[in-house]
Structure 1
Amino acid sequence: MKLHAFLLMAASLAATVTTALAQQPAANAAPADQVAPAQPAAAAQAPAKPDPALGEQRFTAVCAACHGADGNSAIPANPKLAAQHPEYIVKQLQEYKAGKRPNAIMQGFAAQLSDADMRNIAVWLDRQKAKPGFARDKQLVATGERIWRGGLPDRQIAACAGCHSPNGAGIPAQYPRLSGQHADYTAAQLVKFRTAANVPNVKGDSARPNSVQMMQIASRMTDQEIRAVSDYVAGLR
């Protein structure tokens, strides 16, 4: 009987100790208010800084045949890109690639470029010196200058200088540089804007407010006025 009683006491004591140990915090566990918070997910890496040297390589491989080795196109139908605002170049390439600015030729070339390529090319072009152009039609220069500087208020045609600056330097990230641009290219773009404005049910892309604005302006211009402004732009310094 004594042995049996002893075994019962031992079992009871062991159960008590086990329960007490289970209720105590682990020896190495930190207090609840000192537990390190969960680490947030790694933030997305910022785009790498544009590399002009890589931009020159990609431009030479993809763009130079049409736009000239230094961005000064010798082909009147192809725009000069030297000294153009980087933000504008990137935006246009992205829109060509996505089909927002329809052009089968440019979409094919832009499709070959990554976002990094576009930024590199744009920064390199910004560093190139733009070669000046020349007005060709002296009889139209006065008309072109009048429209550029003062617009045609009677037809709600705004002065081009208001957005593209008096000397055609444009405004970075908003309006492109136009000074010295080929007259043929500028005229072709104005005609495209006018044509788009005259297509039924075409209101323009609200995500491209500048294109909508240009459609409205070009739709009120005659062929002669378009030629006059384009020729004047070619001679701007």
Structure 2
Amino acid sequence: MWQVIMIVLVGWILVGLSVALVMIRRGHDVVIWLVLGVAAGPFAIALAGLGAYLERQIPVLKTVEITDQPRTDQLLTDRIRMLAGIDGSDAATHAVVAAATMFGARLSSVTLLTTLDYDTAFGASAARVDRIIGDAQAAAVRTLSAMGLRPHSARASGGAAEQIALSAASGHYDLIVLGSHRRRQSPLGSVTNRVAERSPIPGLIIPPARLAAATTTDATGLGTRENTP
């Protein structure tokens, strides 16, 4: 009897977690869907269907607010239009600042892209979205402004890797910059690796400041990667 109960319980959890992992990879909130997966089990499939439907009701927040910025099509073609993924972490901020320092006057524009998961974006007011984006990008904006740069602010909803890759394919950028968090590989795969696989333009992956001395040049031409065991 107990064996049957355990088999049913394990199957319940495995099915629920499988659905949860699919939804998380699509750009939904990690905590919400892990809880739903364990609690709802097979019924999470129906919830996932509802979530997929609601995705289509959420506007893709790709508006870019630019203040006194020159149009990118008026810039010299030999200068670099940089796209940086910003999630509010120290690693992301360090990456964009390090890249800006590296390229200096060769930069024609810097765009900070922050991605919201669908569950955060759904039903959120414009003021709340602005606050979330502003908080995530604040440190990078302050530092870049002190360097004399005026970054663009961009936002999107969905999976971070997918949205960064889509932006990279838009033709408006020449280089992607991402910060590496040096997390262990997960079933979801790291955002940086997934972007590198999908991006049509070169990428620069910069480790946290304390690990900057332990990097090597990536042989694929996608930039630098961590020299981890």
Above 0.5 in TM-score? no
TM-score by length of 1: 0.25
TM-score by length of 2: 0.25
Structure number with greater Rg is 1
